Structure 1
Amino acid sequence: MSKTPNYDVKVKAILDATKPGERVCELTGEKWNMTEEEIGWYRKFNVPPSKYSPNTRWKILAYFSTGFQFWWNKHFETGESVLSFHHPATGIRVLPDQEWLERDFSNVSLLLSTDQSFFDQLYILTRKVPYRATYDLVPPEQSISLVSLGEQDCYFTLGSRGKRNFFSWVCMDGENSSLVFLSNNVVDSHQILHCNRIFQCKYLRECFDCMDSCFLFDCRSCQYCFGASNKRNRKYLWWNEQLSKEEWEKRRAEVNLGKRSVVEECEQSFEKLLLEDTIWPENFNEKTTDSTGEYLNGSVNCSQCYSAVSGSLYNFRCTYSIGSCSHCAFCWGSKDTSESYFSVTIAGSNKCQFCFRCPQNDTCYYCLMCDNCQYCFGCVGLRRKKYYILNQPYTEENYWKEVDKIMCKMLEDNEHGDFFPTKFSSTYGPESGAAVYCGSSVEEIRQLGPNNFDPNEQGATQRKEIDPKLIRLRTDIPDSIDELTDDWIGVPIYDEEAKRTFAFLKPEIEHYRSVHVAPPNTHFIRRTNKASVLGQLCSLEKRLCSNCAKESLVAKCENYPDRKIYCKSCYLNYLEEHG
């Protein structure tokens, strides 16, 4: 028997009238073809069709993800500075994780009003309940990190586990490395994107099992290579030219990557190599079955998904899935989750819809930061609760009566069926996941939401005032790591484009010296965001194989829109001949 009979009648009429065909995104104007497959997922979850295109929905979800943001927020009660990924200008205040976990916020609630927009009511509640500052899953040790998975002696890392790493995100089991993104087992390396098992390398993308190499793209099991693409089991390559061991070592000794000016010259050569002598496969999927999308590993029957590892099954348009995620649609950042829809960062949850950072929940709707809850609707910060609406308790019977009314009202108000409005987000829009992961332009960020304030508002970028006399310009930073003395440690440096200051840390300089990396001359947020969009973006489009003209669904690549893409068959044939 239906728990929400009135809503079911209304949404059935909408779904019965929904036919496949071209649609126009209400937010961006993008056209897309709503297929029977997509409509089937709406029927499965008993929700009305979205008014936004699939790519726009990804961008909305990404707008709520952290991106790579570090801000000084305020303690909810004392007003003391607390490092967090929640920007204070969004109106959200925080508590350190341990304090938050020791509290019960069920005493902070709202009485449901049938005359007011439900989203408007829920928004008020989200600003009354503090958020977890760092959302660490495993507390870090001697580290500056967010969403730590077990960091030790790391600085400015996000969603990672490792030792002595710097400015990295989603880096698992790395050590003494910097600027690492979506990679595993990276040691003594710098600027590594979408790679696995890398040792003593610099400036690698889409590589596996490589050592002692620089400027590689799509290489496997290569060693002593400088500038190479689409290679397998090779040594002593120099911009794809085969050299003898002696000649390679002679040339390598003449290139000092400890100098920024030299790195910039090599980057230009790398760009030329990527545009003129490189083939992109239609995707970088591994061990997948009947699946489409990008960066899928071990997935089965996943359609149009992005970045899934360790066993995703029967998902549609999901991103950043870990573990046994199954039968989900439009979920971002899920782990071991099933039967869930249009949610962000839900782990170990089941039958959840439109939820944000809700682990171990069952049959919850429009909840934020709730943990181990069941049958909750529009709640914030609850733990181990059942039958709550806007943090108010209900009997089981009354809960479902009210939920039926709310969902009918939300249908009438054109609210139900899509994620929270982006004003709910705690991120700074231009540096949110929409920009970092999806490559959204400044104009697209403006279309997505209101969080385009000055990032320096409310003291978010500095804990205390800096004496202007101490600030130096980034153009003053030495070109060579050999010239960067300890006198630079802790000196505030102004980045005019980022409109904020940064400083070198002592362990950071020691790291650059140990791996012989040129000293950076931009704010670390700019560095990380620039590096992140060098790979395949979380945005899909149809492209033709440059060799046989077969159509494939591929991820967009902002920096290389005119790259040569081969379908899987043509790509493998190319590797046989040239790899």
Structure 2
Amino acid sequence: MQKSCTQCGSSFEITQSDLEFYDKISPVFNEKKHSIPAPTYCPDCRMKRRFTFRNFFNLYKRKSDLSGKDIISMYDKDSPFPVFDQHEWWGDKWNGIDYGKDIDFNQSFFEQLKELHNTVPHMGIMNTQSENTDYSNLCFQSRNCYLVFGSVLNEDCCYGHIVWQCRNCFDCLYTYRSEFCYECIDCVQCYNTLFSQSSENCNDSYFLVNCHGCRNCFGCVGMNNNEYCIFNEQISKEEYKSRVDYLLSHLKTIKSKLEELRSNEIVKNFHGYSCENVQGDYLYFSRNIVRSYDLKNCEDCKYCATCDSFKDCYDCNYSPPHAEVSYESITISGFHYLFCHRCLGNNSDILYCDDCHGCRNCFGCFGLKQKEYCILNKQYSKEQYEDLSSRLIDHMINTKEWGEFASITPFAYNETIAHQYFPLSQEQALKEGYRWKDKEDEIPQVEKIIPADRLPVSINDIPDDILNWAIKCEATQRPFRIVKQELEFYRKMKLPIPRFHPDERHKRRIALRNPRKLWERKCDKCGEGMETTYAPERPERVFCEKCYLNEVY
């Protein structure tokens, strides 16, 4: 059936399999199934609503409301709730149960949920099991990382987003199991690879696009298992070295030649492999996937993005491995989540919870650890929990809240990842009911500020005291600083100092990825219809998977 989105007005489809999924995940209390209704928002508006809960990149200096010490936080000093240092938050000096409140059946549930959220302490940043990684967020099991976000198992990395199991990687995006990489996007298991995209198992190379198993290659597109190639041409080892040294000082030549090669490139209709019956992009080792992006090891999922090892899930995002039978949630691990945010530690059967860890059978809770049978952070017996949960859902049905993700984000719209994927003007954001934050860069306490275009080209000419300067971004004029770890990396890799602010560099990397949007078009080889994230006006020749494999291999 077709529905009209109550947020944007667009038409979207609800299939019979969708209805079966909503029935499958519907919770049972007191032996009564409380059916999850079909969504009222279209898939994009649902994703945008969830993304307003995710502030990856904006960090603030403030004091812990527990100890008073200076901390780094994703929440600014004007936030209405207490904010603790993450180690204090995990400590035993407070207990989320102490903030429990009775259900008020004369008030909307989301209003009560927001009141709870504004009372319970929040973690300033969430860098679980990490060391010397204070200037990052949602960075797990990592050490010596700086401004790395949404990443796992990294060491000595800077300026990364969705970087997993990497070492000494700087300015990378969606990069995995790699070392000594710089400005790489969607690269896997690469070593000493720079300025590259959508490449795998490549070493000692520069400016690669869609290359696999290549070594000592420069400016190559769509090549497999090659060595000593420049712009897709085979040359000798000796000539390679001399030409690379010349090209690295003539970046405009590289850019124009790469654009020429890419305009004639043959590409598959989606990025990924080892998949069966999938629809979307950047999909790996997955099956039965619908309209999803950046998934690995997933099965029977729809409308998901950036998840690993998920099964039977709809509308889930930004999650570490392993979740099942879940819906409308962000950053989860465990079983049967409904409308939850940032709940890890193998929770199960929780609804409308936020920052709960190791919990079971909880409804509308915030900041609980290892609890069961709680509603709005108040402890109940199993029988009381079942009865009150059933009554609460009936109440939410009457207030038209049941089945909706709670729009109670603590962030302004332009602080969140939503603004990256669904950009709005300040006027539009306010009209849609979001807050907006006027951002001002803190004036750096430095000896001098130097325009980026006045920086020496060679790293050999950069003095040590650049660490005491600020650089004015060529594009935005925003000042930024170089940290010692970064300078050492540029010197080791013989790289120039960047001319753009870290936020601008991230923005430009994001723009190089295909959008999370599917177009209907025909295979440029066989003419069969297919869906792809390559827009019809793109210059590449786009093949269906069968034709691509026949052509390339």
Pairing 1:526–2:512 present: no
Give the direction of change, closer, same or farther, for the CA distance of 1:554–1:87 in structure 2 (3 Å limit): farther
Say whether residues 1:405 and 2:391 are aligned partners.
yes
What 5-or-longer segments of structure 1 have no aligned partner?
1-19
Task: Check 1:501–1:55 CA distance in 2 against 1; reply closer, same or farther (3 A cut).
Answer: same
Match of 1:314 among 300, 311, 314: 300
Distance 1:542 1:114, change over 3 A: farther
Work out whether residues 145 and 151 of structure 1, in 8 Å CA contact, stay in contact via their aligned partners in 2.
no
Aligned to 2:403: 417
2:246 paired with 1:254: yes
Q: For residue 136 of structure 1, what is the aligned residue in structure 2?
A: 127
Closer/same/farther in 2, CA of residues 115 and 451 from structure 1, 3 Å limit: same
Q: CA deviation at 1:356?
A: 0.7
What whole-Å deviation, never above 9, does each CA across 1:476-511 have from its counterpart, x for those lacking one?
A: 433432332222113233449657532111221111
Change (3 A) 1:303 1:467: closer
Q: Give the corresponding residue for 1:47.
A: 36
Q: Provide structure 2 residue ranges, at least 5 long, that are not aligned to the other structure.
A: 26-34
Change (3 A) 1:549 1:363: same
Cα distance in 1 for partners of 2:53, 2:461 equals 41
What is residue 146 of structure 1 aligned with on the other side?
Answer: 137
Map Cα deviations across residues 430-481 of structure 1 (whole Å, 9 max, x no partner). 3532344x3646588667662421133xxxx54xx64598444444433432
Residue of structure 1 in register with 2:57 after alignment: 68
**Secondary structure at the residue paired with 2:550?**
helix
- SS for the counterpart of 1:187 is coil
**Counterparts in 2 of 1:489-500, with a 5 A limit?**
489-495=467-473, 500=478
Name the SS for the 2:97 alignment partner.
coil
Letter in 2 for 1:32: F
Matched residue, 2:254 = 266
Residue by residue over 1:75-134, the C-alpha shift from the partner in whole angstroms, topping out at 9 and shown as x without a partner, is 223554421334455545421222111131211133322222211221121121122222
Secondary structure, aligned partner of 2:129:
coil
Are 2:105 and 1:118 aligned? Answer: no
Report the Cα offset of residue 226 of structure 1: 1.6
Length-normalised TM-score, structure 1: 0.85
| Distance of aligned partners of 1:198 and 1:30 in 2 relative to their CA distance in 1, 3 Å threshold | same
Q: Distance in 2 between matches of 1:449 and 1:268?
A: 44
Shift of 1:370: 0.9
> Does the 8 Å CA contact 1:69/1:525 hold for their aligned counterparts?
no
CA distance in 1, matches of 2:98, 2:476: 41
Contact 2:472/2:479, CA 8 A, preserved across alignment:
yes
1:153-302 → structure 2 map (5 Å cutoff): 153-158=144-149, 159-256=151-248, 262-263=250-251, 266-274=254-262, 276-302=263-289
Aligned partners of 1:269 and 1:237: how far apart in 2?
14
Instruction: Specify whether residues 60 and 497 from structure 1 end up closer, same or farther in structure 2 by C-alpha distance, changes over 3 A only.
Output: farther
Q: Is the 8 A contact 2:414 2:437 kept in 1?
A: no
Partner of 2:542: 565
Structure 1 position 540, deviation (Å) = 4.1
Q: CA deviation at 1:564?
A: 3.6
In 2: Cα distance, 1:363 partner to 1:96 partner = 28
Secondary structure class of the residue paired with 1:341: strand
Q: Does 1:546 align with 2:527?
A: no
Alpha-carbon distance in 1 for matches of 2:535, 2:80: 34
C-alpha distance in 2, partners of 1:189/1:210? Answer: 10
2:314 corresponds to 1:329: yes
Distance 1:79-1:191 versus aligned 2 partners, 3 A rule: same
Give the AA of the match of 1:279. Answer: I
Q: In 2, Cα distance between the equivalents of 1:149 and 1:79?
A: 25
Q: Deviations over 1:239-288 (max 9, x none)?
A: 2334344443332121235xxxx4455334434433x1223311122212
Indicate the residue corresponding to 1:454 in structure 2: 438
**Aligned equivalents of 2:485, 2:453: Cα separation in 1:** 22
For residues 455 and 410 of structure 1, the distance between their equivalents in structure 2, rounded to whole angstroms, comes to: 37
Aligned length: 538
Q: For 2:7, give the aligned amino acid.
A: L
Deviation of residue 391 (structure 1)? 1.4
- TM-fit CA distance, 1:562: 5.8
Equivalents in 2 of 1:566, 1:104: separation in Å?
56
Q: 2: CA distance between counterparts of 1:247 and 1:442? A: 51
Q: Is the 8 Å Cα contact of residues 143 and 152 (structure 1) preserved in structure 2?
A: no
Cα distance in 1, alignment partners of residues 433 and 284 from structure 2:
33
* SS of the residue 1:381 aligns to: coil
User: Partner amino acid for 1:572?
Assistant: L
Alignment CA distance shift 1:536-1:94 (3 Å): farther
SS in 2 for 1:508: helix
Q: Which residue matches 1:351?
A: 336
- Contact 1:140–1:149 (Cα < 8 Å) also in 2: no
User: Do 1:59 and 1:440's aligned partners in 2 also have CA atoms closer than 8 Å?
Assistant: no
Q: CA deviation at 1:539?
A: 4.2
- Classify 1:73/1:553 alpha carbon distance in 2 versus 1 (closer, same or farther; 3 Å): farther
What is the distance in 1 between the residues matched to 2:148 and 2:186?
Answer: 16
The whole-number CA distance in structure 1 between the counterparts of 2:339 and 2:133 is 35
Specify the alignment match of 1:364 in structure 2.
350
The one-letter amino acid paired with 1:305 is S
Q: Distance in 2 between matches of 1:96 and 1:522?
A: 31
Q: 1:507 corresponds to which residue?
A: 485
**Contact conserved, 2:247 with 2:253, CA < 8 A, in 1?**
no
Matched-pair contact (CA < 8 Å) for 1:439–1:537: no
Read off the aligned partner of 1:42 and give its amino acid letter.
Answer: Y
Q: Is the 8 A contact 2:97 2:368 kept in 1?
A: yes
**3-state secondary structure, aligned to 2:386:** helix
Is the Cα–Cα contact under 8 Å of residues 356 and 367 in structure 2 kept in the other structure? yes
1:469 and 1:510 mapped to 2: Cα distance? 20
Give the direction of change, closer, same or farther, for the CA distance of 1:466–1:572 in structure 2 (3 Å limit): closer
Q: How far apart are the structure 2 equivalents of 1:89 and 1:562? A: 48
SS in 2 for 1:273: helix
Deviation at 1:199, TM superposition (A): 1.6
Distance change >3 Å, CA 213–CA 449, structure 1 → 2: farther
Q: Percent identity?
A: 24
How far residue 186 of structure 1 moved from its aligned partner, in angstroms, is: 1.9
Q: Does 1:24 align with 2:4?
A: yes
SS at match of 1:525: helix
Counterpart position of 1:536: 514
Residue 21 of structure 2 aligns with an amino acid whose one-letter code is W
* Higher relative contact order, structure no. (Cα contacts within 8 Å, ≥ 6 residues apart): 1
Cα pair distance change 1:498/1:109, threshold 3 Å:
farther
- Letter aligned with residue 44 of structure 1: K
CA distance in 2, matches of 1:389, 1:153: 39
SS at match of 1:200: strand
